[in-house]
Amino acid sequence: MYEACFPRKRNCFLSSIVTRGYLKCLKILTRIFLCFIFSIMGDLSWKDFLSQAKQFLEISQKLGDNWILEQKDSNEPNTYLKCSQKIKCRGGKDNSAELVSVEYHVVFSVSYQVPMLFFQAHRSDGSLLDVEATWRMFMPESKASDLHQILTQMDHPVLFRPFMALHPCRTAEVLKQFGKPSCNQVLTFISLYGPHVQLHLQNAYGLSQEYT
Protein backbone atom coordinates (compact mmCIF):
# COMPACT_ATOMS: atom_id res chain seq x y z
CA MET A 1 0.00 0.00 0.00
CA TYR A 2 2.79 2.40 0.93
CA GLU A 3 4.72 1.61 -2.26
CA ALA A 4 1.59 2.10 -4.33
CA CYS A 5 0.98 5.53 -2.79
CA PHE A 6 4.57 6.72 -2.91
CA PRO A 7 4.62 7.67 -6.60
CA ARG A 8 1.46 9.68 -6.09
CA LYS A 9 2.98 11.49 -3.09
CA ARG A 10 6.16 12.14 -5.04
CA ASN A 11 4.16 13.53 -7.95
CA CYS A 12 2.21 15.75 -5.56
CA PHE A 13 5.45 16.94 -3.99
CA LEU A 14 6.97 17.76 -7.38
CA SER A 15 3.76 19.45 -8.45
CA SER A 16 3.85 21.56 -5.29
CA ILE A 17 7.44 22.64 -6.01
CA VAL A 18 6.55 23.57 -9.59
CA THR A 19 3.50 25.51 -8.41
CA ARG A 20 5.50 27.43 -5.79
CA GLY A 21 8.18 28.20 -8.35
CA TYR A 22 5.57 29.38 -10.83
CA LEU A 23 3.92 31.63 -8.25
CA LYS A 24 7.28 33.07 -7.23
CA CYS A 25 8.16 33.84 -10.85
CA LEU A 26 4.71 35.34 -11.36
CA LYS A 27 5.19 37.65 -8.36
CA ILE A 28 8.59 38.76 -9.66
CA LEU A 29 7.22 39.40 -13.15
CA THR A 30 4.27 41.29 -11.70
CA ARG A 31 6.61 43.46 -9.63
CA ILE A 32 8.77 44.19 -12.68
CA PHE A 33 5.69 45.02 -14.74
CA LEU A 34 4.33 47.37 -12.08
CA CYS A 35 7.71 49.11 -11.75
CA PHE A 36 7.74 49.59 -15.51
CA ILE A 37 4.19 50.98 -15.53
CA PHE A 38 4.95 53.40 -12.69
CA SER A 39 8.15 54.54 -14.41
CA ILE A 40 6.36 55.53 -17.64
CA MET A 41 3.27 57.02 -16.01
CA GLY A 42 3.28 60.56 -14.74
CA ASP A 43 1.49 62.09 -11.78
CA LEU A 44 -0.18 64.90 -13.72
CA SER A 45 -3.96 64.88 -13.44
CA TRP A 46 -6.27 66.38 -16.04
CA LYS A 47 -7.23 69.11 -13.56
CA ASP A 48 -3.55 69.97 -13.00
CA PHE A 49 -2.82 69.94 -16.72
CA LEU A 50 -5.68 72.35 -17.42
CA SER A 51 -4.62 74.67 -14.60
CA GLN A 52 -0.97 74.68 -15.72
CA ALA A 53 -1.95 75.16 -19.36
CA LYS A 54 -3.91 78.27 -18.36
CA GLN A 55 -0.92 79.54 -16.36
CA PHE A 56 1.31 78.93 -19.37
CA LEU A 57 -1.16 80.85 -21.54
CA GLU A 58 -1.02 83.82 -19.16
CA ILE A 59 2.76 83.95 -19.53
CA SER A 60 2.44 83.68 -23.31
CA GLN A 61 0.00 86.58 -23.44
CA LYS A 62 2.25 88.75 -21.29
CA LEU A 63 5.16 88.03 -23.63
CA GLY A 64 3.11 88.65 -26.76
CA ASP A 65 3.51 85.06 -27.93
CA ASN A 66 0.87 83.37 -30.10
CA TRP A 67 -0.24 80.43 -27.97
CA ILE A 68 -3.99 79.90 -27.56
CA LEU A 69 -6.13 77.46 -25.59
CA GLU A 70 -8.45 75.42 -27.80
CA GLN A 71 -11.51 73.81 -26.20
CA LYS A 72 -13.53 71.26 -28.13
CA ASP A 73 -15.93 70.77 -25.21
CA SER A 74 -15.84 70.53 -21.42
CA ASN A 75 -14.99 66.82 -21.36
CA GLU A 76 -11.61 65.39 -20.42
CA PRO A 77 -9.16 65.83 -22.18
CA ASN A 78 -10.68 68.03 -24.90
CA THR A 79 -8.78 71.25 -24.19
CA TYR A 80 -5.25 71.77 -25.47
CA LEU A 81 -2.63 74.44 -26.12
CA LYS A 82 -1.98 75.44 -29.72
CA CYS A 83 0.49 77.64 -31.57
CA SER A 84 1.59 78.07 -35.18
CA GLN A 85 4.80 79.22 -36.81
CA LYS A 86 6.65 79.18 -40.11
CA ILE A 87 10.13 77.70 -40.14
CA LYS A 88 12.82 76.84 -42.65
CA CYS A 89 13.91 73.23 -42.63
CA ARG A 90 16.37 71.26 -44.72
CA GLY A 91 15.24 67.91 -45.98
CA GLY A 92 13.53 68.46 -49.30
CA LYS A 93 14.16 66.28 -52.30
CA ASP A 94 17.42 68.07 -53.06
CA ASN A 95 18.15 68.76 -49.36
CA SER A 96 17.43 72.45 -49.88
CA ALA A 97 15.85 74.66 -47.24
CA GLU A 98 12.08 74.73 -47.43
CA LEU A 99 9.58 77.02 -45.70
CA VAL A 100 6.91 75.04 -43.86
CA SER A 101 3.96 76.06 -41.69
CA VAL A 102 3.75 74.09 -38.47
CA GLU A 103 0.86 73.86 -36.03
CA TYR A 104 1.71 72.48 -32.57
CA HIS A 105 -0.72 71.06 -30.03
CA VAL A 106 0.14 70.27 -26.41
CA VAL A 107 -2.43 67.71 -25.29
CA PHE A 108 -3.02 65.78 -22.07
CA SER A 109 -2.37 62.05 -22.36
CA VAL A 110 -4.91 60.15 -20.28
CA SER A 111 -2.97 56.89 -20.66
CA TYR A 112 0.43 58.25 -19.58
CA GLN A 113 -0.76 61.18 -17.42
CA VAL A 114 1.74 63.54 -19.01
CA PRO A 115 1.63 66.31 -21.63
CA MET A 116 2.08 65.20 -25.25
CA LEU A 117 3.27 67.22 -28.23
CA PHE A 118 1.44 66.74 -31.54
CA PHE A 119 2.05 68.71 -34.72
CA GLN A 120 1.33 68.95 -38.43
CA ALA A 121 3.55 70.60 -41.02
CA HIS A 122 2.42 71.93 -44.40
CA ARG A 123 4.46 73.04 -47.38
CA SER A 124 3.93 76.44 -49.00
CA ASP A 125 1.57 74.84 -51.54
CA GLY A 126 -0.64 73.59 -48.70
CA SER A 127 0.33 69.92 -48.98
CA LEU A 128 0.89 67.99 -45.77
CA LEU A 129 4.35 66.61 -45.05
CA ASP A 130 4.31 62.84 -44.96
CA VAL A 131 6.06 60.83 -42.26
CA GLU A 132 9.34 60.38 -44.14
CA ALA A 133 9.56 64.05 -45.10
CA THR A 134 8.86 65.05 -41.50
CA TRP A 135 11.65 62.81 -40.26
CA ARG A 136 14.10 64.28 -42.79
CA MET A 137 13.21 67.86 -41.90
CA PHE A 138 12.83 67.67 -38.13
CA MET A 139 15.17 64.84 -37.10
CA PRO A 140 17.84 64.47 -39.79
CA GLU A 141 20.49 63.30 -37.31
CA SER A 142 18.45 60.46 -35.78
CA LYS A 143 18.98 56.85 -36.79
CA ALA A 144 16.23 55.38 -38.93
CA SER A 145 15.76 52.54 -36.44
CA ASP A 146 15.09 55.02 -33.62
CA LEU A 147 12.66 57.33 -35.41
CA HIS A 148 9.58 55.15 -34.90
CA GLN A 149 10.21 55.25 -31.15
CA ILE A 150 10.81 59.01 -31.01
CA LEU A 151 8.64 60.73 -33.60
CA THR A 152 5.70 58.77 -34.91
CA GLN A 153 2.30 59.25 -36.48
CA MET A 154 -0.73 58.61 -34.29
CA ASP A 155 -4.31 59.77 -33.93
CA HIS A 156 -4.82 63.06 -32.15
CA PRO A 157 -6.75 62.22 -28.93
CA VAL A 158 -9.07 65.22 -29.33
CA LEU A 159 -9.40 65.72 -33.10
CA PHE A 160 -9.13 62.01 -34.05
CA ARG A 161 -6.95 62.73 -37.08
CA PRO A 162 -3.40 61.53 -37.83
CA PHE A 163 -0.74 63.87 -36.42
CA MET A 164 2.96 63.52 -35.86
CA ALA A 165 3.75 63.13 -32.16
CA LEU A 166 6.73 62.78 -29.86
CA HIS A 167 6.25 59.45 -28.13
CA PRO A 168 5.41 59.87 -24.41
CA CYS A 169 6.97 56.66 -23.06
CA ARG A 170 9.82 58.46 -21.21
CA THR A 171 8.18 61.82 -20.56
CA ALA A 172 7.24 61.00 -16.96
CA GLU A 173 10.80 59.85 -16.20
CA VAL A 174 12.28 63.03 -17.69
CA LEU A 175 9.88 65.35 -15.85
CA LYS A 176 10.47 63.56 -12.53
CA GLN A 177 14.18 64.37 -12.79
CA PHE A 178 13.27 68.02 -12.26
CA GLY A 179 11.45 67.23 -9.00
CA LYS A 180 9.57 69.79 -6.94
CA PRO A 181 11.21 72.97 -8.32
CA SER A 182 9.22 72.55 -11.54
CA CYS A 183 5.75 73.67 -10.49
CA ASN A 184 4.48 73.96 -14.05
CA GLN A 185 5.11 70.66 -15.80
CA VAL A 186 3.49 71.92 -19.00
CA LEU A 187 6.04 74.73 -19.32
CA THR A 188 8.90 72.39 -18.44
CA PHE A 189 7.66 69.84 -20.97
CA ILE A 190 7.46 72.34 -23.84
CA SER A 191 10.89 73.76 -22.95
CA LEU A 192 12.47 70.29 -23.04
CA TYR A 193 10.62 68.59 -25.88
CA GLY A 194 9.78 71.51 -28.17
CA PRO A 195 13.32 72.06 -29.52
CA HIS A 196 13.32 68.50 -30.92
CA VAL A 197 10.69 69.63 -33.43
CA GLN A 198 11.83 73.24 -33.93
CA LEU A 199 9.55 74.65 -31.22
CA HIS A 200 11.56 77.08 -29.11
CA LEU A 201 10.28 79.17 -26.21
CA GLN A 202 11.60 82.61 -25.38
CA ASN A 203 14.05 82.67 -22.47
CA ALA A 204 11.58 84.92 -20.66
CA TYR A 205 9.33 81.91 -20.06
CA GLY A 206 11.95 80.51 -17.73
CA LEU A 207 12.15 83.80 -15.83
CA SER A 208 8.48 83.66 -14.83
CA GLN A 209 9.18 82.74 -11.21
CA GLU A 210 5.51 82.73 -10.32
CA TYR A 211 4.90 79.45 -12.13
CA THR A 212 8.23 77.71 -12.67
Residues designated catalytic: 169
**Sheet of strand 151-155, all strands in order from the earlier edge strand to the far edge:** 68-71, 79-90, 97-109, 114-123, 162-166, 151-155
CA atoms within 13 A on the CB side of 85: 15
ω before 77 within 30° of 0 (cis)?
yes
Dist. CA 186–CA 193, nearest whole Å: 10
Say how many residues make up the chain.
212
**109 contacts: CB under 8 Å, gap ≥ 6:** 77, 115, 116, 157, 168
Dist. CA 144–CA 13, nearest whole Å: 53
